Structure 1
């Protein structure tokens, strides 16, 4: 990988006015110099995208599908290179990074398939009085320039969930990657170029969100904004974007209910994975576990034992489970939340220590419901475990949140599974598995402060298009 990265605008590398160093979160060594886009660069990117859209909107579906399929193939062939980029800039363990590359390849393949599946609907006009001798149908058309602002935690796959559907629909796109992980996005510039994407359809402008967001959300050519990040920034984007189409995925503090009668041996490993995979820096990481009182002590003891077995180390070590969190600011915030929770009565069952840039995986019990570790998204290797008496109490506690992205329940009772699924206030309910489960063709998005709109390739593509109704009058009468 080269050490100096410019801006990708109009199918060419463009010099930036300023560059900033990018550091490896685990070693703190400088790994690259990243061009920082200014508002005028963002305007240029949007203008280039708008010009490219005028031609690309007429590209046949099969041509768009071939480009996306070629992208998937190139990424698959260069998979180890992609994984190394993530391990370097995001401190993602190499095993997790390889898993993400595989998912990213699949996401672009789903996008290729979706490009060829853009169906409208026939409307039965004669179902209404006065509708006789009329033929009605809907078509869906690309919306125009899509701007995408992406997070650090899945720097290839969450970018694919925005770029893939946009291109499948026939749109152009301006991508602002996370400040912590720009290399994964910049890598895509030449991948899409090699795959045959016309110049200007994909533009990539690293930089500060507060510097670029106004252009990316208010420029007249921008027709759709898709953002994954914090609630606070999401609210700002919503105000700036006005009547533009919006997809906002704003995080969670996912609850997981373990009902009575469950075989604990079968859920421990999966629960630990859901809580601590990629250091808990996953939007649907398990943050709150509710265990029936008949299983609580047994579950807690085994969960703590398994957590203590997680391997802390270099992201490049095949055995590593836990690495450095994304930066020192995040590390300090998470540690302060743990300390505050303890002051408010919580007990640290394991972890809670800072070792270099790593926070040891932390299990908390007796957590006050007003503590930040309960109320807000931790986005770190911390999980809170609670006992419950009745399923209704567990559901009530799970719903006591500003968020509503994914929830999970494991139960041997089909009736109780349906009962909980109906009452849990989240965009997704995962039954008999952890709420961290996601595949890339399912609808994904939240209720409440977890955002608006849905991702998952087909669903994202739908939201990146406009629907038009067309009616033909047949005959003179």
Structure 2
């Protein structure tokens, strides 16, 4: 991928085998805008072949023993480690992700498969339950085991094309479920590189397919009843529409948000804290589901925090993602940058104060800080998914928590305080999937349960949680 003048063709993977197609999707370097690759596009016939293969592979996948699953997952760990440099270059080119962030994501890809390999031998797949809770059940014994749910459909997003794809594929293998995955059309190469490695393993024939395809062809992954689960990561509008059309299958949704961080007056406003806020707000041009979009600051320290943020932000510019020093690279496409510019301009017209930034040059959006933003505007209540942060004051801790909860989203929130009672109050009263104390809401480790409430989604990611979603309990009752 370093030589961007060389255009490479990538096959899709149907029923575990590479295959070219009649149509191709062009993939552009998101910073330089030159053509870097073409990927084969699946049509309806290829998708049908993949679904049939997945259903046919259900029994063989379910029969895989823990040591067999672990061997497959560890092979992926080894190969991804060997391919680390190539994978980083792919992520920078097709995703526009700054080099340091790309390196961190590839490391998470490796770790996610390692966690899944460990989980295969650590999960409790069966237990005994006492049934003699009434005289009628005396003499009966109950047992429960976890069994794979069956074939699953997976749809992954553009912003973490390696790691969020891994968070769907690795649990499916560990759970014993064949799968068909559609990667994001803006960043399809990453998923195809994962498929390339999976094709080297002993997965049963037909156990996996990775199919770049137009949205109209991919709709069958949502509606087809042969799939027993749909896992989608993306926008809330698209996700909830999918759920409404998914039929009887289980649905898990990770849909993003407009994450807030609250800073209490007992917090030391150190340089490290300011750096952390900036990394959580502007890293990968803010194109992160749990990117810091709102910073709520106690009125006693508001001026100090704002001043220190501005000092740092004056030195921060959107730049070439190839550079080690870059924090903010390009937005994924120009239409998204234009949409964000309109949101900023509208906020300013409605009385918001632009503290810094707001400048747009193609796909490069400068880090932007606003205050006094009208709460009815899109930039406040919706997901900006760009390098924009809104500052606001609060007086009491309870008031700050209420302000966070006004959002229709509820993925994660960050709370800075040294008071244990306030930590517990936040945990008890915040309507979010995760409360992060003394750190930004952008914090995530790949083995923790991860997912939101309200418009932020349904169900949990994280290896152990995702494996359980892809399995179901089966009860055995024995009369003695």
How far the C-alpha of 1:131 sits from its partner, in A, is 2.1
1:190/1:343 Cα in 2 relative to 1: closer, same or farther (>3 Å)? same
Aligned length: 473
> Is 1:304 equivalent to 2:282 in the alignment?
no
Question: Counterpart in 1 of 2:297?
Answer: 291
The counterpart of 1:370, out of the listed 372, 376, 379, is 376
- Of 42, 49, 54, the residue aligned with 2:59 is 54
- Aligned positions of 1:182-261 closer than 5 A: 182-213=188-219, 215-261=220-266
User: For residues 126-141 of structure 1, what are the structure 2 equivalents within 5 Å?
Assistant: 126-141=132-147
Q: Is the 8 A contact 2:279 2:327 kept in 1?
A: no
Residue of structure 2 aligned with 1:92, choices 81, 91, 97: 97
Question: 2:270 matched to 1:272?
Answer: no
The answer for the alignment partner of 1:442 in structure 2 is: 448
C-alpha distance after superposition, 1:213-260 (max 9, x if no partner): 2x1022232111000001111122101212201100111100110011
SS of the equivalent of 2:439 reads coil
User: Which of residues 3, 12, 20 in structure 2 aligns to 1:7?
Assistant: 12
1:389 aligns with 2:389: no
Secondary structure of the residue that 1:22 maps to in structure 2?
strand
Give 3-state SS (helix, strand or coil) of 1:126's partner: coil
The alpha-carbon deviation at position 37 of structure 1 amounts to 1.8
Partner-residue secondary structure (3-state), 1:147 = strand
Deviations 1:55-110 (A, max 9, x none): 12111111011100110111011111111110000000111011011111111011
| Contact 2:299–2:395, Cα closer than 8 Å, also in 1 | yes
Q: Displacement, 1:112?
A: 1.0
CA 1:67–1:118: 2 relative to 1, 3 Å? farther
Where 2:293 maps in the other structure, the secondary structure is: strand
User: What are structure 1's unaligned runs of at least 5 residues?
Assistant: none
Quote the Cα distance in structure 1 between the aligned partners of 2:327 and 2:224: 43
TM-score by length of 2: 0.96
Match of 1:319 in 2: 325
Give the distance between the partners of 2:198 and 2:421, measured in 1 at CA.
Answer: 48
> Which residue among 72, 75, 91 is the counterpart of 1:70?
75
Partner of 2:461: 455
Structure 2 residue corresponding to 1:79, chosen from 69, 76, 84: 84
CA drift of 1:435 comes to 0.5
Query: Does residue 21 in structure 1 map to residue 26 in structure 2?
Result: yes
Residue 399 of structure 1 corresponds to 405
Q: How far off its partner does 1:374 sit?
A: 0.6
Higher mean Cα deviation, 39-48 or 138-147? 39-48
Q: TM-score, normalised by structure 1?
A: 0.97
SS in 1 for 2:242: helix
Structure 1 stretch displaced more, 451-460 or 204-213: 204-213
Task: Give 1:20 deviation, angstroms.
Answer: 2.4
What SS class does the counterpart of residue 136 from structure 2 fall into? coil
Runs of 4+ in 1 over 4 A off after TM superposition: none
Between stretches 151-160 and 42-51, larger displacement belongs to 42-51
- In structure 2, the residue matched to 1:173 is 179
Measured on the aligned residues, the alpha-carbon RMSD in Å equals 1.3
CA deviation after TM superposition for structure 1 residue 5, in Å? 2.0
Worse overlay, 191-200 or 340-349: 191-200
Given that 2:17 and 2:199 are in contact with CA atoms closer than 8 Å, whether structure 1 keeps it comes out as no
Q: What's the offset of the Cα at 1:282?
A: 0.4
Moved more, 444-453 or 215-224: 215-224
Does the CA-based 8 Å contact 2:317-2:367 persist in structure 1?
Answer: no
1:199 to partner: Cα distance = 3.1
> How far off is 1:118 after superposition?
4.2
The one-character-per-residue Cα deviations of 1:437-473 (angstroms, maximum 9, x if unpaired) are 0000110111101111111000000000111111111
Residue 197 of structure 1 and its aligned partner are, at CA, apart by 2.5
